[in-house]
Amino acid sequence: MQLERWHQIKDLFSSALEHPTAERSAFLDRSCGNDIELLAQVRSLLDAHESSLGFIERPAVERAGLADSFEPLNWQGRRLGNYRIVSELGRGGMSHVYKAARDDDQYYKEVAIKLLRPGLDTHSLLQRLRDERQMLAQLSHPNIAQLLDGGVTETGAPYLVMEYVEGQPIDAYCEQRELSITSRLDLVRTLCGAVRYVHQHLMVHGDLKGGNILVTQSGVVKLLDFGIAKLLNASSDPSHTMVNQVVALTPAYASPEQIRGEPITTTSDVYSLGVLLYKLLAGTLPFEVPAELFGWEAAAAMGDRQPRLPSIAAAENNVPAYRRIARQLRGDLDAIVMKALAKEPEDRYGSAEHLAEDLHRYQRGFPVHAHPAHPMYRTRKLVMRHKAATVAISLFAVAIVTGVVTTAWQAHVARSERARAERHLAEIRKLTNTYLRDVYDAAVNLPGATEVRKLLVENSLKHIAALESESQDSLEFKRELAQAYLRFGDVQGDYLGANLGDTEGAVQSYRHALRLRKQVAEQSQTVEDLAALLRSYISLSELLGAQSKLDEAIALAESAIEVGTKLVAMPGVRSSDHRLAGAAHMLLGTNLSTIDLPRALESLHSAQETFERLEREQPNDIGTRFDIALIQSRIGFAYVRSQQYESAFPHYLKASQYIEQIARESPGDAAALRGAAFAAVNLGEVYNNLNKPDLALEPIKLALERVEHLQVVDPANEQASLAVAYVLNHLGDSYLLKGQPEMALTHLNRALQLVNEAPPAKPTDIAEIRMLPGMTNFRLGKAHAMLGQEHRRDATAYLQSSVTRLQELTKDPVIGKDVQRLTDQARQLLRDVS
C-alpha cells in the first residue's frame, strides 16, 4: 500500500469518527464514491474500533489514532483451557502477557500467555495462527522462548502459550551488572544466532527491542515474541497490511522501511539489532522518537539524519560507566553499529550472522568488514593481534639478515678470523632453532596463528638452507633442518590442524624430514633422536593414509611401531615417548580400518591400553587426555568403515564428551576446538546413520558453531571453509532424514557455495575433500527430488553432477565403498525423477 493511499484512509477514518454512528455509512458512501476498495478499508478500521473496548492495551493503537482509550479485562484468576492466569507480566503494542500455570491432572508447569486483541480482523488472524502454529511449535532453539500451545478465549480472542522466562530486559541486565564491552558483545552475538535461526525458518521478527529480549540470572539470552510481527505482517489481504504494521512496530527500534509501512525483510531485523547494540554500548538510543509520533510522523522526525557515533553518544552520556568506555568504541565498533543502522537495507549487513561475525572479528582483533579495507588498517590489526609474535619475527629477521651479512663478510677475512665467523654461524643456527622450537610451539594452538606459523617456518627454513654449505656433515644441522621441514609440513597440509591446503607439499616436506632423521638415527641412538624419527614416521604415514595411499602408509606405520618398541625399552624414556609409541599403534589401526578390521582393532586397543595407563599416571596431562579422546574416535571410525554404527556409537560418544571437556577448559586452544568440532560431527553422523536425526542436530550444530568460529579467526587456514562445508553437509543430511528438504537446502546451498569457492579438489588431497563436491551435489539432488515434480530439473542436474564427480572415487581404497553407495543411490533417484 502506498503512503499516499494510507494518508487517504487515515483522514477518511478520522472524519468518519466525527459523525454519529448511524450517519457513518451514508458519509462513507458519499466520500468513497465508486472506490469500493477504499470503502472496505475504512469500514474495516471502523469495525476494529467498535470492537476494541475492554481488550488489552492502549499504546500503539491509540497513538496511531485507530482506537479510543479502553481498560482491559481483569484476567487474573481466570482459566484459559488447562491454564490458570496467575498475574500480569506486561503489555505490548497488541497484547497482554500473563504468567499462568498449567495445573490440570496431567502436570504442573508455569507458562506465559499472550492474548491478542480481538476486533483487529480477529477471524483471519486466528486462521493464520492455526496455519502457522505447527511451524512455530517445531522451532527449538536454546535462546528462543518456545511456543507451547494456543487457542481462543470464550469471547473468540486468540491466545498463545509460551515458555515462561524469568529474566531482565537485556539493556537493564547489562546496566545493573555493569557488564564489560566484551560481555555485552557476547550477548548480542548470541542474540544474532537466535535471530539467524528465525530467519532460516523464513520468518522475520519485526519487533526486536530490549523488552523482547530477556536475560536470565544465569546469563542465558531468550528472544520473545518472535513470529508475532511476522504473523501480523504476512497477511495476503492488502486492506490489513498497513494497519497491522502500524500496530506492531516500535518506532525507536523499527527500520526506516518498516516505519514507512513498506515490506520488511531480514535486514529490517538487522537494523533493530543495530539499535539495540547502540543502546547497549552508548547507553542511549540513536534516535529518541517522541511517544506521540507514529508511523510516517516518526519517519519524518528521523528524516535522513544520521545518529551520532556511539562513541560520541557514550562520551556525552550522564552515566559515568558509559563515558569511561567511550574511547573503546571509536573506530571498529562505531563502524559496525553504523553499518547495521544504514538507512538503505542494501547498505546494512546482509544478515544477523554477518553482524555477529564482524563483532567476533572485532573481539579477536581481526579487521572488521564495516571498516574500509586500507592496507595500513589491516597491518595495524595484524600487529595488535600478534604483538609478541610480530616483535619476535622482526627481531628474528633483523638477527638473521645481520648474521648472514656478517658471516658473508667474515668469510673474506683472514684465516685468523675464521674461528670467530664459525662461532657467529653457530649463534645464528641456535637462534633459528629457538624460533622453530619455542616461539612456534607457543603459537601453534592459538586461533588465527596459521599466518604467524607460516612466517616463522619459511624464514627459518630459508636461512637454514642458505647456510647448508657451511654445515658440512653436522648432526646438529641435520636435526635443525629436519625440524624445520616437519614444521613446514604441518603448516602446509597437516589435515588434523590449521593448514594452507598444500597436501602434496606437506608430503614432500615430511619426506625431507624423515630422510634427515634417518641419517641422524644411524649415527645417534639417543632417546631424543629416536623420538624425533618416530614423530617423522607418524606424520608422513598419517597424511599418506588420508590421501588413500594405504600401502605406503601402512608400511611406514609398521616401521614406526618398530622404532617405538625400541624407544620405550631404552633407559631415560619419557611419558611423551610412550605416547608416541602408542600413537604408532593407533596410526596402524587407522590405516588398516578399511581393509582389515580385526587387525585394526587389535592395534587400536593396544594404543588404548597405553593411553589409559598414561592417564592413570598423569591424570591432568592435557596431551594424554587428548589422546584418550582421539583413540575413542579412531575406534569408532574403524567400526563406521564397516558400517557397524551401533558399535561405533559408544566410542564416538566418549570421544565427544572427553574432548568437549578439554575444549571448555581451554577455550583459546584451536586444536581443542577443532578436535571437539569433528568429534561432535562424527557423533551426529552416527546418529544419522542410525536414523536418529533429531539426536544428530545438537552435536552437528555445535560442530558448525566451532568450525565457523575457527574459519573467522584464522582466514589463512585454507581448509577452514571446507570444514564448514563438511559439517553443513551432515546438518543437511539430518534435515533430509527428518523429511524437511527446505531446511536441508538452506544448509546444502551454503555448503555448495563454499565448495565452489575453494580450489578444485586434487587427487593428492585428503579423501574427505575429494569426496565433498560429489557428496554435496548428491544431497542437493536428493533434497530437490523430495520437493516433487516442480523441482525435477534441479534434482536431475545435481544428481548427474554427483555421479560424474563420485564415479572416479569408487575405486579409492579408503572411501570407495561409501562413494559407491552414494553413486548407487544417486542413480536410483535419477530413475525415480525421470
DSSP assignments along 730-770, one per residue: HHHHHHHHTT-HHHHHHHHHHHHHHHHHSPPP-TTS-HHHH
* Residue whose C-alpha cell reads 554427483 in the numeric block: 802
Determine phi and psi for 116, rounding to 5 degrees: -90, 150
Query: DSSP code of 226?
Result: T
Cell numbers describing residue 549: 595411499
Decide if 85 contacts 100 (C-beta within 8 A).
yes
Q: Give the CA angle between residues 216, 219, 222 to the nearest 5°.
A: 55
Residue 219, helix vs strand vs coil: coil
* Residue whose C-alpha cell reads 575444549 in the numeric block: 663
Query: DSSP code of 33?
Result: T
Between the alpha carbon of residue 383 and those of residues 181, 376, 390, the distances in Å are: 22, 10, 6
Q: Which residues lie closer than 8 Å to 62 by C-beta, 6 or more apart? A: 68, 69
Cell numbers describing residue 121: 480482523
Q: Report how far apart the first and last C-alpha atoms of the chain are (Å, whole number).
A: 44
**Could you count the other beta carbons within 10 Å of the beta carbon of residue 609?**
13
**Could you count the other beta carbons within 10 Å of the beta carbon of residue 146?**
17
**Type of residue numbered 834:** S
Decide if 490 contacts 497 (C-beta within 8 A).
yes
Query: DSSP code of 438?
Result: I
DSSP assignments along 775-796, one per residue: HHHHHHHHHHHHT-GGGHHHHH
**Could you count the other beta carbons within 10 Å of the beta carbon of residue 14?**
13
Residue 701, helix vs strand vs coil: helix
Cell numbers describing residue 745: 537446502
Q: Which residues lie closer than 8 Å to 18 by C-beta, 6 or more apart? A: none
Residue 560 host element (H or E): helix 550-568
Whether 114 has a binding-site annotation, put simply, is yes
Query: DSSP code of 262?
Result: P
Which sign does the torsion angle of CA 106, 109, 115, 116 carry? negative
**What Rg value do the Cα atoms of the chain yield, rounded?**
33
- Counting beta carbons within 10 angstroms of the beta carbon of residue 5, is it exposed (0 to 12), middle (13 to 18) or buried (19 or more)? middle
Q: Report the candidate in 19, 142, 26, 159 with the shortest Cα–Cα distance to residue 85.
A: 159
Residue 85 host element (H or E): strand 83-91
| Interhelix angle 418-434/387-410, nearest 10 degrees | 160
What b/e string do you get for 271-288 counting C-beta neighbours within 10 Å, with b at 16 or more?
bbbbbbbbbbbbbbbbbe
For every residue of 333-359, which 3-state class applies, written as one string? Answer: HHHHHHHHCCCCHHHCCCCHHHHHHHH
State the Cα–Cα distance between residues 450 and 213, nearest whole angstrom: 38
Sheet holding 221-223, edge to edge: 167-169, 213-216, 221-223
State the Cα–Cα distance between residues 794 and 109, nearest whole angstrom: 47
Q: Which residues lie closer than 8 Å to 734 by C-beta, 6 or more apart? A: 684, 687, 688, 693, 696, 697, 700, 744
Q: Which residues are annotated binding-site positions?
A: 114
Q: Which residues are annotated binding-site positions for ATP?
A: 114
